[in-house]
Structure 1
Amino acid sequence: MTNGASTVLMSRVTLGRALRRFRDEVHCGTLAEVADALGCDDSLLSRIENGKRPCSQELLGKLMDLYGVPADQREELAQLQAASTRRRSPWWVKYREFITSSYEQVIAFEDAAESVFECQVGIIPGLLQTEDYARAVTEVGFASLGPDQVDGLVEVRMVRQRRQLFETDQPLQCHYIITEAALNFAVGGRAAHRAQLDHLLDVSEHPGVRLQAIPYSKGAEGCQIAAFRIFTFPGDVPDVAFSESVAGSLTMDDPRELRRLHRLFRSLTGSAFSPGETRDLVARIKNRKD
């Protein structure tokens, strides 16, 4: 499922994390100290460590010298650097006038991921939304956007669905936790809501989708203050998570934060209905709307 553009991203992210580990654990210096030693801008080093921009071959050599990177690891970092600078245009490049940089990062990680663990409190996860539902939540969530921009964002979501679930031999493995409230909100009106529930009944049978709902009866166990998703990747690439808010998506890659989010997701899984019970709940809510 991973394409060339995603390989570039993952190489960039993996290189950045490796450089940060060498700085923290071996060199034990701050970004400002390293930047001063190399005569460059610390904001440049920060963007490289966060995978937001590529590292030049020259700068990588200076960093490896400064950090005392062993010879057997230099070649590995050099290969990552080479892979991270290959120019390939991702599929979402034509939508860049509509998507924010934080959303673009989510899409890029999703495109490279093997699985996602996602919790949503008030809405249906994006990859499970119908077009009418997606349009309704986009119009509310991005009220300042014009019709063309809304159309563009909805199209991006539909393309993501097709690429990750329906037009691939290796679908993204999606484990979703939602709340009963998300199922009851009549987003887009009565007809759109019913169509969304019908779609959930269908897509929850997809081999790449595991959908569980936390019922009202669980009380406080279903009251999370923010949505989040965790992406996992093939090989030894570290997980990355995104916490969602009205300000956008916050990237989380600290191992301690990731362990906490994985524990939280496991706890929510234990509080939620099984996939079969969840489908029964969806069917009951849909029947009440008929």
Structure 2
Amino acid sequence: MSDAALSSPNRARRELGKALRALRDQSGDTAEEVGAQIGLSSSQVTRIETGERTCSAKAFAALMDLYEVDDDRQTELEDLAKLARRRQQPWWQEQYGDTVSAKYARLLEYEHDATARLDYQTVLLPPHFQTEGYARAVTAVGFAALGPDQVDSLVEVRMIRQHRLRGENPLTVTAVVTQAALDFHVGGLEVHKAQLRHLLEVTRLPNVSLRVIPYEQGENGTQAGAFNILQLPGDAPDVAFAESVAGNVILEAPLDVRRLNRLFRNLADVALDVEESHALIQRVERDLT
């Protein structure tokens, strides 16, 4: 097992779950049948396999016996199981646990391990490109009725997420937005101006790409709501998040993720190239009065 695979309890939990699901598939048992034999419900078995639930030492031992796992493989999986049980709280739980929702926490968990993010936005700019003023304006008028302290906390979370764009092993962000996202005066004129100037700066980073779908391609840019796809290291499958007024909807089924990857490619195909997009941002910023 590589050091990278053992670097995160969250990742270890997902890798262990994937391995346990493969073992169950080989056995031919259903989650309900496995649960009945080891004293868990079928939903608990499924949550362990998807990485949403930690596998206890007792359950792990029972599963190894049930699946008749050989000693070498069992030792390898036990390393994962031990790491997955470590009480290591990520920063968003330790500092913002009373504000970050369960769905948002899952996005942050995946994003923490991701190597790349594909981002499509219709009327707002991607979160990793937002200024504090822009992020505050967006958060304050969101779907949830938030108090000032909650808004402050969520804005801080967004600013911390942006640290992934710089430093060691930076997150690669490839974004496509509609021209409307450039034109909306979010937070007022001055905030809007500052946001566009920041956008010009951040999109110069080597790991960042932004392309704009112009109004002339409107029928293409209005076919989907906002979504993002996170690409994970190794052979871990991509995971997608579709945005709605009720928050992020997590999409992990391979068919759903493949469809969104195809949709993202189609949207990128009708967008301006990077240089043309940069020039359009400059024109919009220059024309603001």
* Superposed displacement of residue 266, structure 1: 1.3
Measure the CA separation in 2 of the matches of 1:65 and 1:140: 53
CA contact (8 A) 2:5 2:11 kept: no
Q: How does 1:28-67 map to 2 (within 5 A)?
A: 28-67=28-67
Write out per-residue CA displacement over residues 26-74 of structure 1, whole angstroms, 9 at most, x where no aligned residue. 2333322222222222232232122122111221222233344455533
- Cα RMSD (Å) of the superposition? 2.1
Query: Partner of 1:252 in structure 2?
Result: 251
Query: Partner of 2:237 in structure 1?
Result: 238
Measure the CA separation in 1 of the matches of 2:68 and 2:263: 38
CA gap of 1:72–1:244, structure 2 versus 1, over 3 A, is farther
Mean Cα deviation higher: 65-74 or 87-96: 65-74
CA gap of 1:70–1:264, structure 2 versus 1, over 3 A, is farther
CA contact (8 A) 1:5 1:88 kept: no
- Matched residue of 2:206: which SS? coil
Measure the CA separation in 2 of the matches of 1:6 and 1:128: 27
CA gap of 1:249–1:139, structure 2 versus 1, over 3 A, is same
Mean Cα deviation higher: 86-95 or 190-199: 86-95
User: TM-score when scaled to structure 1?
Assistant: 0.91
Write out per-residue CA displacement over residues 244-274 of structure 1, whole angstroms, 9 at most, x where no aligned residue. 2122222222222222222111111111111
Query: Partner of 1:146 in structure 2?
Result: 147
Greater relative contact order: 1 or 2 (C-alpha under 8 angstroms, separation 6 or more)? 1
Query: Partner of 1:83 in structure 2?
Result: 83
Mean Cα deviation higher: 237-246 or 181-190: 237-246
* Superposed displacement of residue 237, structure 1: 2.3
CA gap of 1:94–1:179, structure 2 versus 1, over 3 A, is same
Measure the CA separation in 2 of the matches of 1:139 and 1:193: 16
Measure the CA separation in 1 of the matches of 2:45 and 2:192: 47
CA gap of 1:97–1:40, structure 2 versus 1, over 3 A, is same
Query: Partner of 2:186 in structure 1?
Result: 187
Q: How does 1:1-290 map to 2 (within 5 A)?
A: 7-23=8-24, 25-69=25-69, 72-92=72-92, 93-161=94-162, 163-166=163-166, 168-290=167-289
Query: Which stretches in structure 2 are left out of the alignment for 5+ residues?
Result: none
Write out per-residue CA displacement over residues 188-230 of structure 1, whole angstroms, 9 at most, x where no aligned residue. 0111111111111111101121111111111221113322211
- Matched residue of 1:141: which SS? coil
CA gap of 1:187–1:165, structure 2 versus 1, over 3 A, is same
Mean Cα deviation higher: 146-155 or 255-264: 255-264
1:193 corresponds to which letter in structure 2? H
CA contact (8 A) 2:6 2:83 kept: no
CA contact (8 A) 2:143 2:246 kept: no
Query: Which stretches in structure 1 are left out of the alignment for 5+ residues?
Result: none
User: TM-score when scaled to structure 2?
Assistant: 0.91
Paired residue total: 286
Mean Cα deviation higher: 51-60 or 68-77: 68-77
* Superposed displacement of residue 4, structure 1: 11
Measure the CA separation in 2 of the matches of 1:260 and 1:76: 34
Measure the CA separation in 1 of the matches of 2:51 and 2:89: 17
CA gap of 1:245–1:143, structure 2 versus 1, over 3 A, is closer
CA contact (8 A) 1:177 1:214 kept: yes
- Matched residue of 2:174: which SS? strand
